[in-house]
Chains A and B, each alone.
Chain A
């Protein structure tokens, strides 16, 4: 083991780490924004609304993230209409292709988590909300969605970790994220063990931070469920 090349290239790894964080945060934020309406459509009793949402969720959960990313990165150039539209400014960049693919992917998984959480809302809660004279919109805003977010929290924590791990795929399409940095170091110095173990170590640290963060949030949000200690 020879970590000299790694120490020399630590700035590269840190830059990669920063790109990874950007990718994950951008994907999670926009994915979550997309997931809430998707979940609401999916629980709708009107099948004209729920069918498209369910198909979207089925497609993105049933196919590999790598293929979804390739569809955008390699695939979109096939269509002249896309190449000549304003969208091309965005999609000719590997970075934005990756962000879009990750966001669409995590939106499907998050929507499925939220759908399950919404469907588990205790009937009494909505009944009480109706008895108070709340409109449907108010009921969702005040009762159903906040409760569902709380129920969805543990599963969402896992999804965040999966997104972090999935983001390593960005390194495949020329983006210099953590994995991309490891690839560069390996190619330059031919130190496969050291380079990838270092990347793995950074990912492991990120995973631990995310786990710790969600434990902290759970402690806060589940305060009323904790056994009483006197």
Chain B
């Protein structure tokens, strides 16, 4: 059943792209998540409202709908803007659309995770830092951020696992990731089940490996925490 007719390298190529999309969008999601969490916890009412609208809307609409919206709609929007500014025709590649959308979606989930993490940092530590005369920015970078990691790590791990699986959707907007390649290989060999099963196993490898990595990070960041 597992005769892959020499298509395995193609699937692996796709896997590389899947991992690229996942890691890049994770980066975007973490940056957006930190900004969102800061906005939600800030004193400015405008920032709080903006962040709440962002997380509510993104988490209320399916990822697939958002992705097609960015891919097809973003193209038109960009060219309309480009026309009025006299730019050349700009082509949104599925790679950019996919990565941006996934990053944008998971930025909303990361916002909630990071917000919870920041809130869990004990008040005394921050007060102590302020008493040392650190500026607000310094307190955040030196105290809140490193301490927040421990509390945010489990949620972060969950988000990453869901994100990694969501990358499968980029095949729908025509990116040649491993799901797309499995479709091509399955079509020409008339063995779609075999190829999709291989892809499923590769996804299990990705999630399994990340699980190991996250467990290690969790141990590393809870050094010094006494457990019941």
Name A residues whose Cβ lies closer than 8 Å to a Cβ of B: 58-59, 62-68, 70-71, 74-79, 164-169, 171-172, 179, 182-183, 186, 192-193, 196-197, 199-200, 203-204, 207-208
Rounded to whole angstroms, the CA-CA distance of A139 and B63 in the bound complex is 42
For the complex of A and B, the 7 pairs showing the least CB-CB separation, nearest first, are: A75-B193, A192-B72, A64-B168, A165-B62, A168-B62, A207-B60, A74-B192
Distance (whole angstroms) from the CB of B45 to the closest CB of chain A: 23
Whether a CB of chain A sits under 8 angstroms from the CB of B69 is: yes
Q: Are B68 and A196 in contact (CB-based, < 8 A)?
A: yes
User: Main SS of the interface on chain A?
Assistant: helix
Q: Are B200 and A71 in contact (CB-based, < 8 A)?
A: yes
B207 to chain A: closest residue by CB = A62
Name B residues whose Cβ lies closer than 8 Å to a Cβ of A: 57, 59-66, 68-69, 72-73, 75-77, 161, 165-169, 171-172, 179, 182-183, 186, 190-194, 196-197, 199-200, 203-204, 207-208
A71 neighbours in B (Cβ, 8 Å):
193, 196-197, 200
A67-B203 contact in complex given A165-B63, A193-B76, A203-B60, C-beta closer than 8 Å:
yes
Identify which of A62, A167, A200, A207 gathers the most chain B CB atoms within 10 Å of its CB. A62
Besides A66-B168, A179-B62, A183-B68, 15 more A-B contacts (Cβ < 8 Å) are A64-B169, A65-B165, A66-B179, A67-B179, A67-B199, A74-B192, A75-B186, A75-B193, A77-B192, A78-B190, A78-B192, A166-B62, A168-B64, A199-B65, A200-B65
Rounded to whole angstroms, the CA-CA distance of A204 and B57 in the bound complex is 7
Rounded to whole angstroms, the CA-CA distance of A167 and B191 in the bound complex is 26
Q: Are B200 and A196 in contact (CB-based, < 8 A)?
A: no
Distance (whole angstroms) from the CB of B173 to the closest CB of chain A: 11
